[in-house]
Homo-oligomer: A and B are copies of this chain.
Amino acid sequence: MDDMRATYMYAVGDVRVTDAPDPTIQQPTDAIVRTTRACVCGSDLHPYHSMPASEDGAAMGHEILGVVEEVGSEVRTVSPGDLVIAPFALSCGVCEFCRAGLQTSCVRGGFWGDPGFGTAGTQAEAARVPLADGSLVPVPGVGADADEALLNSLLTLTDVYGTGWHAAHMAKVGPGSTVTVIGDGAVGLLAVLSAKQLGAERIILMGRHQVRTDLGRDFGATDVVAERGEEGIAAVRELTDGGSQVVLEAVGHMPAYEQSVGIVRPGGVISRVGVPQYEEAPVGFGSLFGGNITLTGGPAPVRAYTEQLLPAVLDGTVDPGRVFDRTVGLEETAEAYRLMDDREALKVALRP
């Protein structure tokens, strides 16, 4: 069996690129995809801070833009040579949940690196993609040699752009909406872009890193609030005359939840796409109930949005790929984690 290079995490802060077996077709619904671009996700930083030590390590990465190399006998919708987007949740495309646009709850699907599901990670030279017909979206007329900006924008469709879009979609952002986005990471910034595309009139971005919030302004933020906690809450309540109808929470830590509750307007919506790093939170009379606040969101079924978001990426109307401010070679993946963890980079693309 041939070898490739792939990324594993072994403990807190311990990321290594090592030899791993080349992926092969195991099911007739599989495809093998050779990586054009992968990347490190903000959510990869959670295990980077907390993973128990493991001798075998965990295969990392759940975002991949690449070229189909081989397909199983039952694959119909993609062919060798196609440039494809693989969303972070793999899905069959035909079950009740896939048809409802909730591919993250697919009855046959699963997530990259989930041992029970049998996939490895995508921070590697190639990947086996189960359920290829449901999961993969070909990008017609574009090849792996497309320019860097376009490749980066296509890569956002695997996760961060679809996740920002999901936040806004679940909150029913529409023309005239007042929206506050908590978090100036890639997902928060693309939630700003999504809210803008959906017609929001006022978009307040809560974030403290000016390079990022400046990009947020380019994406459509009308106001930036750098304060956090009680001060940040007071600032947004002042700007919105009593609270924001929509809050998009793109962080996942408890202070961001508390901030959401503090700034949401009675009758408003908090839409979460930051993976919660807590299980319990205030939901009683004094937080959600009394003001008839709706709490929504979850892992984004980005596959549901790919076809809708692709045209504006291809014709250059939007450039979500600007969230990638660094590209490094695959061998430097550990450095990519460090750059993101130290906030020296917003989001790092990996080039095999």
Among candidates B278, B282, B296, residue contacting A279 with C-beta atoms closer than 8 Å: B282
Chain B contacts for A170, CB-based, 8 A? 292, 294
Among candidates B105, B280, B282, residue contacting A292 with C-beta atoms closer than 8 Å: B105
A299 near B290 (CB under 8 angstroms)? Answer: yes
| Bound complex: CA A272 to CA B282 (Å) | 14
A303 to chain B, nearest CB (A): 13
B299 near A289 (CB under 8 angstroms)? Answer: yes
Chain B contacts for A295, CB-based, 8 A? 283, 288, 294-296
Interfacial residues of chain A within 263-292, with CB under 8 A of chain B in the complex: 266-267, 272, 275-276, 278-292
Q: Can you tell how many copies of this chain the complex includes? A: 2
| Bound complex: CA A301 to CA B298 (Å) | 28
A286 near B279 (CB under 8 angstroms)? Answer: yes
Can you pick out 21 interface pairs between chain A and chain B where the beta carbons lie within 8 Å of each other? Answer: A102-B267, A105-B291, A272-B289, A275-B285, A276-B283, A276-B285, A278-B284, A279-B282, A279-B284, A279-B287, A280-B282, A280-B283, A283-B283, A283-B295, A290-B299, A291-B298, A292-B296, A292-B297, A292-B299, A293-B298, A294-B295
B283 near A279 (CB under 8 angstroms)? Answer: yes
- In the complex, which range does the number of interface residues on chain A fall in? 20 to 34
Q: Is A100 an interface residue (CB 8 A)?
A: yes
**A283: nearest chain-B partner, CB-CB:** B281
Q: For A100, A170, A266, A287, which residue has the most chain B Cβ atoms within 10 angstroms?
A: A266
Chain B contacts for A289, CB-based, 8 A? 272, 275-276, 297-299
Among candidates B97, B276, B280, B301, residue contacting A280 with C-beta atoms closer than 8 Å: B280
Interfacial residues of chain A within 89-105, with CB under 8 A of chain B in the complex: 97, 100, 102, 104-105
Residues of A within 8 A of B (CB): 97, 100, 102, 104-105, 170, 266-267, 272, 275-276, 278-299, 301
Chain B contacts for A276, CB-based, 8 A? 283-285, 289
Among candidates B266, B275, B294, B299, residue contacting A296 with C-beta atoms closer than 8 Å: B294
A100 near B283 (CB under 8 angstroms)? Answer: no
A267 near B100 (CB under 8 angstroms)? Answer: yes
A267 near B105 (CB under 8 angstroms)? Answer: yes
- List the 3 shortest-distance A-B pairs measured between CB atoms, nearest first: A292-B298, A105-B266, A279-B284
| Bound complex: CA A40 to CA B97 (Å) | 43
| Bound complex: CA A276 to CA B281 (Å) | 14
A102-B266, A102-B292, A281-B284 known, 15 other contacts, Cβ within 8 Å? A104-B292, A170-B292, A275-B289, A276-B283, A276-B284, A276-B285, A276-B289, A278-B284, A279-B283, A279-B284, A280-B281, A280-B282, A283-B283, A289-B299, A296-B296
| Bound complex: CA A284 to CA B297 (Å) | 11
Q: For A100, A284, A292, which residue has the most chain B Cβ atoms within 10 angstroms?
A: A292
**A284: nearest chain-B partner, CB-CB:** B279
Q: For A104, A286, A288, A293, which residue has the most chain B Cβ atoms within 10 angstroms?
A: A288
Chain B contacts for A293, CB-based, 8 A? 298
Chain B contacts for A281, CB-based, 8 A? 280-281, 283-284
Chain B contacts for A278, CB-based, 8 A? 284
A267 near B97 (CB under 8 angstroms)? Answer: yes
A256 to chain B, nearest CB (A): 13
A109 to chain B, nearest CB (A): 12
